[in-house]
Amino acid sequence: MRCSASGTKLPPGRMGVPFFGEMPNFLWYFKHLRRPDDYINSKRHKYGETPGLYKSHLFGSPVIIACSPSLNKFVLQSDANFIRQWPTAKIFGINSLICAQGQAHTRIKSFLLRAINRPDALRQMAVMLQPRVISTLQSWSQKGTITACKEAEKAFCGQSGLCILIRTAELPGFVAIHAFSLGALSAIDESSPVTFANIAKHFAGFEPGPVLDTLDELFKGVMHGFRAYPLDFPGTAYHHAIQCHTKVWEIFRVELEKRKNNPDGAKARNDLMDGLMELKDDEGKRLRDVEVLDNIISLVVGGYESTSLSMMWAIYLLAKNPAVLQKLREENMNLSKNNNEALITAEDVAKLTYTKKVVEETIRVANIAFLVFRTATKDVEYKGYTIPKGWKVVLWLRYLHTDPENFEDPMCFNPDRWNGSVKPEAFQVFGGGSRICAGNMLVRLQLAIFLHHLAIAYKWDLVNPNAKMMYLPFHKPEDGVELTFSKL
């Protein structure tokens, strides 16, 4: 085993070629072979079993790859030893939950958890998002018919951004270019507008219209750039993202000033921005305006991608697994028959036991994003190996969810695995430690409600059931899940 210049024992691995490191090898597995898990499997085969860590050089830095549940948990729960430095505060704001460190992070997160995850907030979100979900599903059925599908040309769902993805557990990013042909629609393109509209309404009270359309485009620019290498000069995605963030921040600042000048309207709006403006900590202090703005913006970005991609994967996986869809449909039909109202409540969702299993299995199989980055603040010893100070630690979360040692037959979509046999430490979709996703309950709630209305009233078929998978910049079928869609 080679040691570093200081005599510490580094994990096994290779640093690759000068400047590029192991990126060519990484891209070979992810883009050419389309077998991303074999990138880690090849290291396990070459170097034997280790405590789940390997040295490498990826994304421009020397790194330690962490790919075991115990090591990932160790890093995620060691805030003093491993800090987050990417994405940069220039894009999301130094006061946002994603960028704040130490006591500032703890303080802001306590505000957000009270504003987002308290029962009355979830009940409000359940009621607020359903009209748009229902109307969107109705519009899908009007666009897609069996006859039109036969004549449709194959649509291609585009993507942008570098081949680096941040974990959805911490702050996901997503861009989809609207593209569909007559009679066939792309699930990822169609789910994004309803998701963004719901989140913009619930978080900041924005209604459909020119301002919301402008925000949608600006957020796409932000999300494109936060994956990019931080080169801040005209023409780069990073520079464009900073410009978009500045414009978004100004739109939200104007909205915040309106609310400060009209405090009596807060009861009517009753959204997250008002909630953050009114919340007080234990000392009776409120969030500063810049803290409210930075966190509203970062939360909109986070909720937008995680739910959009979850919807896409739910549609795809249910189409590929009709037996699962049938059980899901039966459970939700029974609820619908016993419910005189068109809308369901958060309490109704809590009763949908099989639906909740489908939600968990969907986000496991989807692996919406697969990496989390940390930086070691000092030399850290772990089971005989040293993680050197200043090195990046890449938490390879995808591998936890596709390793047969953690999940039996991991590539199979099997909601029944959630009957109680899942190892909790191996399921890190929402991260862990102090930075576990603040909005994980919202993601689950919105996906469950979407599945309810989808299952009780609609049927769909994949136009390209054998479409190849792509893994960069995120995991999805190559055609974006092109399908025909109609009422039952």
Enumerate the known binding-site residues for heme: 437
Q: Can you read off the two tokens belonging to residue 186?
A: 């792309």
Residues of each annotated binding site: 437
Distance CA 358, CA 334 (A): 17
* Contact of 189 with 179, CB cutoff 8 Å: yes
Dihedral sign from CA coordinates of 306, 138, 155, 145? positive
CB contact at 8 A, 158 and 177: yes
